[in-house]
Amino acid sequence: MFISVASGGPAKLCVHAMDAPLPRPFEQAFRDDCPYHPEALLLDRLLEIDHDKSLVRCSWPTTDEMPLTRSQRTHPIRHPRHVAGGLMVHATGMLGFVHAYYIFGLRHSEGWVGYGTHIHRVVFRKLVTPGTPIECVARAARTRVLKGRKFVRYEFEFKHEGEVCYEGEQTAVWMKLDTPPGGET
């Protein structure tokens, strides 16, 4: 159970399957609400939700068959197979969605959509060989609401086999659209 102030209005109490113990796979309601197909979510398990720290932690299983990674022309020394950096940046967007869903209570099905606006800092700390999961953390370092839009500066930290492999700071904007883009209903 948590308190949501997603709309910028009065707090509302949200009770969902989200009260199930952690760690756990994402529940069907979350997967159905995600604006990406399951293979693009990348993340498979919710490891931690901390409302006080505005933090979510997830697991990302890695394989040789991930997009971009499977397209690498590899060489054992000059270009070993690795999790593509572009996927790590994409994973931050997916973590932002996880954060908005579980911490802010925003639902894509209710018209909420988020877009990355700025990549302030990205550091790739190590080459990640596919095969073992990456533990991904997103924390809202700063949140402000302006004209009904929620601007969030996120801090990201990914660990692979206990070592930091990715760090980043990025900003996203969350807005509620009354009419979906393109006027579709």
Question: What would the mean pLDDT of 60-69 be, rounded to a whole number?
Answer: 94
In CATH, what is the architecture of 2-183?
Roll (3.10)
Q: Where do the structural domains in the chain lie, given as residue ranges?
A: 2-183
What is the tens place of the pLDDT at every residue in 8-19?
443 443 444 557
pLDDT at residue 179, as a whole number: 59
Question: What would the mean pLDDT of 118-132 be, rounded to a whole number?
Answer: 97
SS (H, E, C) the chain: CEEECCCCCCCEEECCHHHCCCCEECCHHHHHHCCCCHHHHCCCEEEEEECCCCEEEEEECCCCCCCCCCCCCCECCCECCCCCHHHHHHHHHHHHHHHHHHHHCCCHHHCEEEEEEEEEEEEECCCCCCCCCEEEEEEEEEEEEECCEEEEEEEEEEEECCEEEEEEEEEEEEEECCCCHHHCC
* pTM as predicted: 0.86
What is the tens place of the pLDDT at every residue in 142-151?
999 999 999 9
Residue 95 has pLDDT above 80, yes or no: yes
pLDDT at residue 5, as a whole number: 39
Residue 56 has pLDDT above 90, yes or no: yes
Among residues of the chain, what percentage have pLDDT more than 90? Answer: 85
pLDDT at residue 178, as a whole number: 79
